[in-house]
């Protein structure tokens, strides 16, 4: 727990910054656990130095989580990259008409992937892919049931709201009916993808044809009503401006006030390789760190802030731990293509547990393995490297 001294220390440190006066009110709010306004969020983006935002964000991070940095042991299944939609930033999908250039896994092939982890201490399978017109709700309900039958302890986190919106409409089911069907089949939580940027004018320009902001939020709200936890992402650093980012986070913060069903906010840095937005430059590392810091300060009701290390790279993921981030996803351990095709730092996004633990310890944070719902599996802060057992991937 942070003492009153820390609070005084923060206030006096803020005064030592040349722009300190401008941020007195925010400093007070940060130390009093009060919510900042949209205008204050914008002010941070536009006028605060990187050092100042880091200080606020780290204060909040340490108050909420101390030095703990979570990771989990998961693997991804990407059922297909065939997609009926054509998001301009996507480097990964192939239209149905060009499906011979893409891949489409059968249920048996996906079960083979699941079985290849038998005996390994993974806790989560993350299923996400393109929106294939022939892979419908029944297909995925059967797949999830088979996974749960084979390995009941494996948490199934799957499907973006974009995939679900299409599946439910095709099955002529309401969101509530569709979600319940998936829950009954064994789906336990949802990842945060497909949110992109909620602002309608930007969304029209980068991903015009998929579910809109209200549809995305409704699907997550319905999942929360059923007791499922979900994540939320934001694709930033392309043609949006700071006000669009604040608007996006504001809509998420409002839904979280209502449902408290979100676990984690994940800002995703736009990567510009091999897509229709290759002319748009990528954001700098400074901009990335500021994004994390402002997210940590603004999203006061989100317990966790995640840096997705395959996208950001290992060193920047380490850096982000001083900018509010308290989670760096997982071992992942597969050939996740959605990012490597877009030019991410990691062409083979896989780290074993020991590598992840070392990465976190190198920046003097405390590595804690969690399950999908943030129950602690193991605190590695006192772990001797030699104690890693052979079942760890």
Between 85 and 117, whose beta carbon lies closer to ligand SF4?
85
**Residue 233 binding result from ligand V47, ligand SF4, none, given CB thresholds of 5 to 8 Å by partner type:** ligand V47
Q: Which span sits near ligand V47 by CB under 6 A: 172-180, 192-200, 214-222, 289-297?
A: 192-200
If the CB atoms of residues 86 and 138 are measured against ligand V47, the closer one turns out to be 86
- 60 close to 323: Cβ distance less than 8 angstroms: no
312 binding ligand V47? (CB under 6 A): no
The minimum distance between CB 197 and ligand V47, in angstroms, equals 9
- Say whether residue 74 binds ligand V47 (CB under 6 A): no
Helix (H) or strand (E) holding 224: helix 213-225
Of residues 145-184, those binding ligand V47 (CB under 6 A): 160
Is residue 89 a contact point for ligand V47 (CB under 6 A)? yes
Judged by CB under 6 A, the number of residues near ligand V47 is 22
191 binds ligand V47 (CB under 6 A): yes
- Residue selected from 56, 70, 75, 85 as contacting ligand SF4 according to rule CB under 6 A: 85
- Decide if residue 82 touches ligand SF4 (CB under 6 A): no
For ligand V47, give the closer residue by CB, 29 or 194.
194
Nearest-approach distance from CB 92 to ligand V47, in angstroms: 6
- Which residue shows structure tokens 């736009």? 270
Distance CA(213)–CA(55), nearest Å, equals: 32
Question: CB count, 10 Å around CB of 362?
Answer: 11
From the list ligand V47, ligand SF4, none, which binds 85 (C-beta under 5 to 8 Å, kind-based)? Answer: ligand SF4
For ligand V47, which stretch binds (CB under 6 A), given 144-152, 191-199, 219-227, 286-294?
A: 191-199
Size of the site for ligand SF4 (CB under 6 A): 12
Neighbouring CB atoms inside 10 A of 80's CB total: 18
Binding partner of 308, given ligand SF4, ligand V47, none, CB within 5-8 angstroms per partner class: ligand V47
DSSP labels for 102-114? S-B--HHHHHHHH
Q: How many alpha carbons fall within 13 Å on the CB side of residue 107? A: 14
The two structure tokens encoding residue 112:
């083979």
- Of the candidate residues 85, 270, 302, 323, the single one contacting ligand V47 (CB under 6 A): 270
* 3-state SS, residue 126: strand
Q: How many CA atoms lie within 13 A of 96 on its CB side?
A: 7
Q: How far is the CB of 294 from ligand V47 (least distance, A)?
A: 18
Only one residue has tokens 């929360």, namely 224
Give the interface segment with ligand V47, choosing from 17-25, 29-37, 270-278, 345-353 (CB under 6 A): 270-278
Instruction: Give the footprint of ligand SF4 on residues 117-146 (CB under 6 A).
Output: 130-131
Best CA proximity match to 267, nearest among 275, 278, 258, 242: 242
86 binds ligand SF4 (CB under 6 A): yes
- Mask for 225-264, x = binds ligand V47 (CB under 6 A): ------x-x-x-----------------------------
DSSP notation for 17-85: STTGGGGHHHHHHHHTTPPPPHHHHHHHHHH--HHHHHHHHHHHHHHHHTTEEEEE-EEEE--B-B-S-
Q: Per CB under 6 A, which of residues 22..81 are in contact with ligand SF4?
A: none
**Are the C-beta atoms of 239 and 279 separated by less than 8 Å?**
no
10 Å CB burial of residue 98 (0-12, 13-18, 19+) is: exposed
Tell me the sheet residues that pair with 366: 68
- Pairing of the two strands 229-236 and 262-269: parallel
In degrees and rounded to multiples of 5, residue 101 shows phi and psi of: -90, -10
Interface positions with ligand V47 (CB under 6 A): 89-91, 128, 160, 191-194, 196, 231, 233, 235, 266, 268, 270-271, 275, 308, 329, 338, 342
Interface positions with ligand SF4 (CB under 6 A): 83, 85-87, 90, 92-93, 130-131, 162, 207, 210
């Amino acid at each position: 727990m942070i003492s009153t001294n820390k609070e005084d220390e923060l206030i006096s440190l803020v005064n030592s910054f040349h722009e300190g006066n401008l941020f007195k009110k925010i400093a007070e709010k940060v130390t009093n656990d009060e919510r900042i306004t949209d205008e204050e969020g914008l002010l941070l983006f536009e006028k605060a130095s990187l050092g100042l935002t880091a200080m606020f964000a780290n204060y909040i991070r340490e108050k909420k989580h101390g030095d703990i940095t979570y990771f989990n042991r998961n693997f991804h299944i990407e059922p297909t990259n065939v997609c009926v939609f054509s998001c301009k930033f996507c480097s990964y999908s192939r239209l149905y008409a060009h499906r011979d250039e893409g891949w489409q896994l059968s249920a048996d092939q996906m079960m083979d992937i699941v079985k290849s982890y038998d005996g390994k201490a993974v806790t989560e399978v993350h299923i996400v892919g393109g929106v294939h017109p022939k892979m419908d709700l029944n297909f995925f309900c059967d797949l999830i049931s088979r996974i749960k039958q084979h390995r009941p302890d494996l948490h199934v986190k799957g499907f973006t709201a974009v995939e679900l919106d299409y599946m439910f409409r095709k099955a002529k089911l309401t969101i509530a009916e569709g979600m319940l069907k998936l829950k009954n089949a064994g789906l336990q939580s949802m990842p945060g993808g497909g949110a992109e940027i909620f602002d309608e004018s930007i969304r029209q320009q980068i991903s015009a044809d998929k579910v809109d902001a209200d549809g995305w939020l409704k699907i997550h709200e319905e999942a929360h009503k059923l007791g499922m936890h979900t994540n939320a992402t934001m694709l930033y650093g392309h043609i949006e401006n700071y006000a669009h980012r604040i608007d996006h986070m504001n809509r998420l913060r409002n839904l979280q006030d209502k449902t408290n069903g979100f676990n984690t906010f994940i800002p995703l840095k736009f990567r510009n390789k091999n897509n229709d937005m290759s002319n748009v430059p990528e954001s700098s590392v400074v901009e990335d760190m500021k994004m994390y810091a402002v997210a940590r300060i603004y999203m006061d009701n989100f317990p966790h802030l995640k840096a997705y290390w395959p996208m950001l790279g290992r060193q920047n993921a380490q850096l982000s731990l001083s900018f509010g981030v308290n989670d760096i996803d997982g071992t992942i351990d597969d050939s996740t293509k959605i990012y490597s095709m877009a030019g991410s730092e990691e062409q083979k996004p896989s780290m074993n547990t020991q590598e992840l633990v070392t990465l976190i310890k190198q920046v003097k944070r405390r590595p804690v393995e969690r399950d999908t719902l943030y129950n602690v599996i193991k605190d590695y802060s006192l772990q001797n490297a030699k104690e890693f057992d052979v079942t760890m991937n």
